[in-house]
Amino acid sequence: MFGSKIDLFNKEWLDVVFAKKNKSYGAYELRKQNGANTSKALLFASAAFIFLFLLPKIVTLIKGQLPEEEIVKQVEVVVAPPPPVDPKTPPPPPVEPPPPKTDQIKFPPPIVKPDNQVRDEDPPQIEQLKAADPGQKTIEGDPGADIVVTGPVGEGPKQAAVVEDTKVYDFVSIETQPGFPGGMEKFYAYLHKAVRYPPMAQENNIQGKVFLSFVVEKDGRLTDIKVERKLGGGTDEEAIRVLKASPKWTPGIQNGKPVRVKYNIPISFTLSN
């Protein structure tokens, strides 16, 4: 037998195989070029495999060398329209410039200090005070500055607001004390007629005085009636009722004007035999 190392595609063997045959037939040319075609195919396949294997690294290197594109974000800014101008609203007042500086001579008020902190300084002379204003320190003014009026500018004299005096005065500290019309004798006569002895106080033989306080208003009314010392048995409520029903008093006077005055008074409850 022939050895296994025989190359049937060799040119000598091809000539033997295709002896006395048509060599222009395509099979002869294919077998003749088979080795070259196989080598070319193997070379191209190896090159394609290596290229595909190295493609990711090549792409990475190319991306690292290229500059990164900056991403620019566009933000739409909506500007609100200005508020409508109200013709009724007056414009803001103009800012006035500061007043010009005037000459000042140091003239601080006297301060009591220990002897070790006292510094001898000559006081300003009268001639110096005539040309400058006294102040805490010496300041040179600007004689060429414009004169600016910093006082409030008004529309003319207006009536001053009247502040109502709501203070409650003590009846012993005012010029004219309040009183019942006709004097205190008339007031006790009014109590004698108006007071009704409570039945509970009569049954329990409750007698004594109820001490009350109240405020005589500017128009003479009695308000803020309070029981300062109670007696009980319904006498406290009866004393409050009588004061609420009292006629108007003459108000107290302070500086020629009626004022509110606090008043204290006892009301006696006595059972007759």
Which of 22-36, 120-134, 255-269 ranks highest by mean pLDDT? 255-269
> Looking at residues 162-188, what average pLDDT do you find?
84
Query: Distance (Å, rounded) from C-alpha 53 to C-alpha 150?
Result: 90
Q: What is the pLDDT of residue 217?
A: 92
Mean pLDDT, range 180-200, rounded to an integer: 89
> Which pair of tokens denotes residue 166?
């709501």
Give residue 1's pLDDT.
44
Residues 6+ apart with CB under 8 A from 196: 238
Q: How would you classify the pairing of strands 257-269 and 252-254?
A: antiparallel
- Per cent of the chain over pLDDT 90 is 12
Partnered with residue 262 across adjacent β-strands are 170, 215
Distance CA 18, CA 12 (A): 10
pLDDT tens for each residue of 46-100: 988 898 888 888 888 887 766 666 666 676 767 777 777 666 777 777 777 766 6
State both tokens at 269: 């409850």
CA 242 – CA 195 distance, rounded (Å): 6
* pLDDT recorded at residue 224: 92
> Given this model, what pLDDT does residue 241 score?
92
Q: Which are the contacts of 81, defined by CB distance < 8 A and separation ≥ 6? A: none
CATH topology of domain 169-269: TolA/TonB C-terminal domain (3.30.2420)
Confidence at 167, pLDDT banded by 50, 70, 90 = confident
**What contacts 129, CB < 8 A, 6 or more positions away?**
105, 107
Give me the pLDDT at residue 101, please. 65
The whole-number average pLDDT for the span 107-123 is 66
For residue range 215-228, what is the model confidence (pLDDT) as tens digits? 999 999 999 999 99
- Does residue 137 surpass a pLDDT of 70? no
CA nearest 97: which of 155, 133, 153, 147? Answer: 147
pLDDT score recorded for residue 30: 61
Query: Does 20 have pLDDT greater than 90?
Result: no
Q: Which amino acid is at 110?
A: P
Please state which of the ranges 91-95, 125-129, 163-167, 218-222 shows the lowest mean pLDDT: 125-129
Other CB atoms within 10 Å distance of the CB of residue 239: 25
Using the predicted structure, report yes or no on whether residue 120 has a pLDDT greater than 90: no
pLDDT in tens, 242-270: 999 999 999 999 888 999 999 898 988 88
Under DSSP, is residue 155 helix (H, G, I), strand (E, B) or coil? coil
Are residues 259 and 253 in contact, defined by beta-carbon separation less than 8 angstroms? yes
